[in-house]
Amino acid sequence: MDNIGNIFAAYRKNLKYSQQDICDKLTGIGIPTKPAAYSTWETGNSIPNAVQFLAMCKILGITNIFNQFIGGYNPDDPMAELNEEGRTMALNYIDLLKGSEKYQAAPVRILQPVRILNLYDMPVSAGTGQFLDNDSYEEVEVGPEVPETADFGVRISGDSMMPRYLDKQIVWIQKTDELNDGEIGIFYYNGNAYCKKLLCNKKGTYLISLNDKYEPIEIAEGSTFKTFGRVVG
């Protein structure tokens, strides 16, 4: 087996990287490494662990790890017993196969994760307020277009949250009973459900519409008021 440090040093110098450059690249992919530590790899005074070793191979462009670091006969290499002329012919034939649609590998289809969320049929009011019926919903499949933090969806009713949210638009909600000042959420107030922006100041608590033709709704002391969740998408 060839010395790992010598191979690292040869590839690094060929790429015109300094040892500091290598450390910066390792740190950039989540493997913090100081030049003093890296230097011991090249001198052979220490060896990298498996994660560090594979990261170094990626940085230096070492693709055939077996041949580069172990050498000799590789039983898994179909061209191991071919001479140079045979290898060239094999590679030429591979190029011919690649050029034929018949032998091209099918593109990998990445299946997107699917979740089932409740979508409430009764609209949350974006105007005068309507009660959110907890039993009136349908289950819908959603993909990555819906934030992972979403727990359920509702349909907006009205134009008070325009231009950001339109009438009948679905908004996705993260369940929480606390919102910060300025956040948009779904609220229950005196028998009605609202999609509004929360405003809290010294004067009191208000539900604010984004459409300025609607007046703020002031939350009276002692009234029934709670938060259903935060709009996340």
Q: Is 201 exposed, middle or buried (0-12, 13-18, 19+ CB in 10 A)?
A: exposed
Amino acid at 114: V
What pLDDT, on a 0 to 100 scale, did the predictor assign at position 149? 93
How many Cα neighbours within 13 Å face the side chain of 208? 13
What pLDDT, on a 0 to 100 scale, did the predictor assign at position 157? 85
pLDDT-derived band of residue 1, with 50, 70 and 90 as boundaries? very low
What pLDDT, on a 0 to 100 scale, did the predictor assign at position 214? 93
Question: How high is the mean pLDDT of the chain?
Answer: 85
pLDDT-derived band of residue 117, with 50, 70 and 90 as boundaries? very high
Beta bridge partners of 173: 152, 231
What structural domains and CATH numbers belong to the chain? 1-72 (1.10.260.40), 115-231 (2.10.109.10)
Give the long-range contacts of residues 205-210, CB within 8 A, separation 24 or more: 209/126, 209/160, 209/161, 210/160, 210/161, 210/162, 210/163, 210/164, 210/165
Residue 122: strand, helix, or coil: strand
